[in-house]
Structure 1
Amino acid sequence: MLLQRYFDWWHRTPDPWKLASDSYEQDKYRSTLEHVPARPYRRIVEVGCAEGVFTRTLAAAYPDAEITGMDVSGRALARARARVPEEGGRVRFVQADILTHPAEPHFDLAFCSETLYYLGRHERLQRASEQLGALLAPGGVLVAVHPWPEADRLHGYLDAHHGLNRIGEEVYKASPRPFAVTVYGASSV
């Protein structure tokens, strides 16, 4: 699997993108959480969790939820497990590719940040959008975060998914690296 080898290579050293220490990343995490509709969430998934920096933030923000971090890199997941205690099964990590992993619709909340642009072209982005939609329980929420203006193209695939409805979007153009946070709701039926 090409993506697995690619990301295992990147994670040959800890935190290659400085997710734990870069102030831009910390601001993006805060901004992302501000856009999550306020309601209880029982099951949360983070697609492309890398070394679990945002997963740890999610565990603190949603102490009653079961949280799953998903990534293709075994190296990244080993560090994620060390960073975020699995707390008796409340937090778990799964090595999986969003394009091929069997998606079961049982998550109330899903995050996909800085991931879609790695997946390739049209057919693969369509497949990723189908898979992300399939992860959500009826009425679930998907939060997608990607660099602007590329987010416009990437999130367009989510817009085209028949089971997802755009709830809102905010573009942070004043950021040193502009990004968009786009929120979707899954159909209730």
Structure 2
Amino acid sequence: MPDSSLPLAYFDDVYRANDDPWSFETSPYERDKYQATMAALPRNKYSNVFEIGCSIGVLSELLANRCNHLLAVDASELPLGAARKRLAAYPHVTVRQLSIPNEFPDDQFDLILLSEVGYYLVLDDLKCARQQMLDHLTDKGNLLLVHWTPFVPDYPLTGDQVHEQFLEIAGEGKPLTHLLGQRTDKYRLDLFQKQ
């Protein structure tokens, strides 16, 4: 496993090779996972949503219909042209190049979505990002994690390791409440609420 978080160049190389490298637009796995992601959200409408790792904006478009404002970010600028085009009809959506934990928006969110991103970070960077998410989540705000669980040699962490870091700070007297946990053969989903 790598001993540092995956660099920006890694993602730039992936997107230079393929405009939709994970088949977000066409994969039945992604479609089903997106349906489960949206179904897990306990509110019909959110005020201010932060999506970390929006890529070409397929899930962002679904989120756009459930909120008053969405900040969708990706570490690489390369997929964001496609995201901006897809989301052009949604004036309440902002698409930005931003890389956590080195950069984090100075705003409060009632939903933060970390989907298929956490395992790109080494543990120290994930813990830093976890604290940033807590600091920028409103009281009773939701934090939704969705990650691929099979081992990938390129990635510093597994999806399970990412989710365990958040489950560690959930429970009585801790900052998060665990509201929902789901697991399939390929991914897991965990929903939290800030105490």
1:115 corresponds to which of 98, 114, 117:
117
**Could you say which residue in structure 1 is the equivalent of 2:13?**
9
Contact 2:6 2:120 in 1 (8 A): no
Letter in 1 for 2:177: N
Amino acid at match of 1:148: T
Specify the alignment match of 1:65 in structure 2: 68
Give me the TM-score of the superposition, normalised by structure 1.
0.86
Q: 1:23 aligns with which of 24, 28, 41?
A: 28
Measure the CA separation in 1 of the matches of 2:6 and 2:30. 26
Letter in 1 for 2:189: V
Shift of 1:105: 5.0
Tell me which amino acid in the other structure corresponds to 1:80: A
Aligned to 2:148: 147
Structure 2: segments with no counterpart, 5+ residues? 151-157
In structure 2, the residue corresponding to 1:75 is in which secondary structure? Answer: coil
> After superposition, what is the alpha-carbon deviation per residue over 1:43-90, rounded to whole angstroms, capped at 9, x for unaligned?
111101111111011113x1x5211101111111122111211633x0
**Residues paired across the two proteins, number:** 179
Partner letter of residue 94 of structure 2? R
Separation of aligned partners in 2, 1:159 and 1:2: 23
**Cα gap change, 1:138 to 1:86, in 2 (>3 Å):** farther
Unaligned runs of 5+ in 1: none
Q: Does 1:165 align with 2:166?
A: no
- The structure with the largest helix share of the pair is 1
Q: Give % identity.
A: 29
What is the match of residue 81 of structure 2?
78
Distance 1:67 1:129 in 2: 19
RMSD: 1.9
CA 1:143–1:27: 2 relative to 1, 3 Å:
same
By how many angstroms is 1:148 displaced?
Answer: 3.0
- State the AA in 1 paired with 2:51: E
* TM-score, with structure 2 as normaliser: 0.84
